[in-house]
Amino acid sequence: MSELYQHIVEWTLWALIAFSIVTWTLIVIKAVQHITLSRQNRRFTKTFWSSADLHAAASFEKYVGATARVAAAGFQTLRNADSSTATDLEHSWDRQDLLERHLRQQIQKERRSLENGLAILASIGNTAPFVGLFGTVFGIIQALTQITASKSASIEVVAGPIGEALIATGIGIAVAVPSVLAYNFFLRRVKLIAADLDDFATDFVSLVQKAGFRIKASAPVVKAAQVQPERDGSKSELNKSDNGKEVFA
């Protein structure tokens, strides 16, 4: 039985180590995601508001980021409304309601993308101390079993096994603290980014309203025709006669 208790304590410690690895992996991934997204949003917002007009801003295609995707969703909605002749429920909205609906949907998509992994951080932060306590309980049972076997209750006999049993609780707390802090930090960041997207969407609707909820179609790029050089400034035509002989005109 003592060996079983020892195995339970070991499995508990390995589980806490796995929780710690997952936690720090998610922290690094989410940190890179938020840093990259902040740079992309600042770059696009600066370029968007420095555009000559709304139609010039609609031609941006190389920019990425949450704000750029929200703007692209808005422009695409207006283009689809201009080109669509359907009369189903999907296209029964007026232009403003249709635009606001698609902008709201895109903002929700961006928020869900930013929230990925936060539930795992919250779960680890809530359960890691209890997992450590679970290991401590069996560690104490094992320690008491060893004390009973030694038939002595002196401080020298009790302190060592009990102290080793409490290590699991300490590790559980050490795993939980970074998880909780990271969860609160990134959740706050998600709320700030979502608020910025809401503000941008409101300004976007106001700008489009001034344009009558219409976006000018981009002019197609016409390539110049390539003309083959002529010899001696004249053209020769090659015709075939009915009998298959080539005749030059």
pLDDT tens, 175-200? 999 999 999 999 999 999 999 999 99
Confirm whether 238 is domain-assigned: no
The pLDDT of residue 33 is: 95
- 148 vs 143: CA distance, rounded Å: 9
Confirm whether 157 is domain-assigned: yes
pTM: 0.75
pLDDT tens, 98-137? 889 999 999 999 999 999 999 999 999 999 999 999 988 8
Q: Among positive and negative, which fits the CA dihedral 164, 165, 166, 167?
A: positive
Q: Structural domain of residue 39, as residue ranges?
A: 2-219
Average pLDDT, the chain: 80
How many structural domains does the chain have? 1
Confirm whether 134 is domain-assigned: yes
Confirm whether 225 is domain-assigned: no
Confirm whether 237 is domain-assigned: no
Q: Token pair of 152, please?
A: 């002595």
Confirm whether 29 is domain-assigned: yes
Least confident of 70-74, 97-101, 154-158, 227-231: 227-231
Q: Strands 246-248, 238-240: parallel, antiparallel or unpaired by DSSP? A: antiparallel
Task: Tell which residue, 46, 39, 27, has the closest CA to residue 66.
Answer: 39
The pLDDT of residue 148 is: 78
Confirm whether 45 is domain-assigned: yes
Judged on CB neighbours under 10 Å (0-12, 13-18, 19+), 12 is: buried
- 115 vs 110: CA distance, rounded Å: 9
Least confident of 26-35, 80-89, 141-150, 165-174: 80-89
The pLDDT of residue 143 is: 77
